[in-house]
Amino acid sequence: MSVVASADLLRSALSHAARGWRVFPLRPGDKRPAIRDWEIRATTDPARIRRAWSRTPFNIGIACGPSRLVVIDLDKPKQGAAQPAGWNRPGITDGADVLAAVAEQHGAEVPLGTYSVQTTSGGEHLYFTALPGSRIRNSAGRLGWLIDVRAAGGYVVAASSVIRSRRYRAAEAEVEALPDWIAKQLDEPDREAPNLDPLLDVVGRRSRYVAAALRGELDAVLAAHPGSGRRNDTLNRAAFALGQLVGAGLLPEGLATAALAEASAAIGLPPREAHATIRSGLIAGSQRPRRLPAAGAVE
């Protein structure tokens, strides 16, 4: 990648951060994060951003949750993909058509006036500010076919990033508030959530970084909906990540086990199944201890 392109990525990362959006590096020419714990370490600090992007032409990720963003991802169907029966009707060809149909069902306008980004695959990201008190997380297909949602726990590839020599391009506009009719469909249903604050307080007195990592993993488990088929896999990944902190001596094993057990019970996993998953994930993770990042590090 040219020096000019690298400088453009730096300028764009700073511009996104100036909006209050927390950015972090993605691998050059790729969508995957270039750092661990990207949601925790995403930043708006210009000095940290310059240090990272002045050395390497990273693509740009925006952590949606910390940035108070909800991004509606309107996709194109993959070649040869079957059209679901519910959407197999005239005029429905992509995520934008689906959103228009859903808006019509709710007697609402299609919210196309907000800041948006054209993706390299022909899709579109519509950016909205999250409503106060909303509990919206990542989801796929909840609004309809070919519509994904990027919110708490997720990120988007930001404008100016380059994939296969093609650039993500912004259509500049004010970022609108998420329409109420969309928010009502995406808000997490009320359910009895465990009070994990005492555990987090104990960890926070030792390390704010570890407390944030623990909170992030527990939030991921709590967001795994019954019937999604992903609860056990999500619990296993969370146990592995926390096991890395246990192996590094940064998190007591008993505390990690107790927190994961409470979170898994809240999403309805059978205790025996959850216990086995937590134990195996913690053991596997502890064999690959995590190093605490240097203070202020982005990359």
Which residue, 206, 163, 135, is CA-closest to 5? 163
Q: Give the pLDDT score at 53.
A: 95
Q: Which of 49-53, 94-98, 127-131, 140-144 has the lowest mean pLDDT?
A: 140-144
Scanning the chain, the segments in alpha helix (DSSP H) are 3-18, 38-41, 46-53, 95-105, 180-186, 197-206, 208-222, 231-247, 253-266, 271-286
Tens-digit pLDDT profile for residues 219-254: 888 877 654 557 888 999 999 999 999 999 989 999
Please, which residues have CB within 8 angstroms of residue 288's CB and are 6 or more apart in sequence? 244, 247
Which of the four pLDDT bands, split at 50, 70 and 90, describes residue 188?
Answer: low
Phi, psi of 32 (to 5 degrees): -85, 145
Q: Give the pLDDT score at 225.
A: 61
Q: CB atoms < 10 A from the CB of 109, how many? A: 12
pLDDT at 184 over 50: yes
Token output for 55: 């050395």
Of residues 283 and 224, the one with the higher pLDDT is 283
SS3 43: strand
Which residue, 228, 226, 211, is CA-closest to 266? 226
CB 83 within 8 A of CB 77: yes
Token output for 185: 């469909």
Of residues 208 and 20, the one with the higher pLDDT is 20
pLDDT at 298 over 60: no
- The topology under which CATH files domain 3-63 is 3.30.720
Alpha carbon distance 110, 99 (integer Å): 7
Q: Give the pLDDT score at 260.
A: 93
% the chain with pLDDT above 90: 58
SS3 97: helix
Rg, C-alpha atoms of the chain: 20
Token output for 124: 């579109």
Q: Give the pLDDT score at 2.
A: 57
Please, which residues have CB within 8 angstroms of residue 9's CB and are 6 or more apart in sequence? 53, 57, 58, 59, 60, 160, 161, 162
Which of the four pLDDT bands, split at 50, 70 and 90, describes residue 296?
Answer: very low
Q: Give the pLDDT score at 79.
A: 82
Of residues 203 and 237, the one with the higher pLDDT is 237
Q: Which of 72-86, 127-141, 198-212, 254-268 has the lowest mean pLDDT?
A: 198-212
Domain ranges of the chain: 3-63, 69-155+167-186, 197-286
Element (H, E) at 62: strand 59-63
Please, what is the average pLDDT of the chain?
88
Q: Give the pLDDT score at 132.
A: 86
If you search the block for the tokens 């059209």, which residue do you land on?
Answer: 83
pLDDT at 297 over 70: no
For range 261-272, the mean pLDDT: 86
Overall pTM > 0.75: no
Phi, psi of 126 (to 5 degrees): -100, 120
Q: Give the pLDDT score at 1.
A: 55
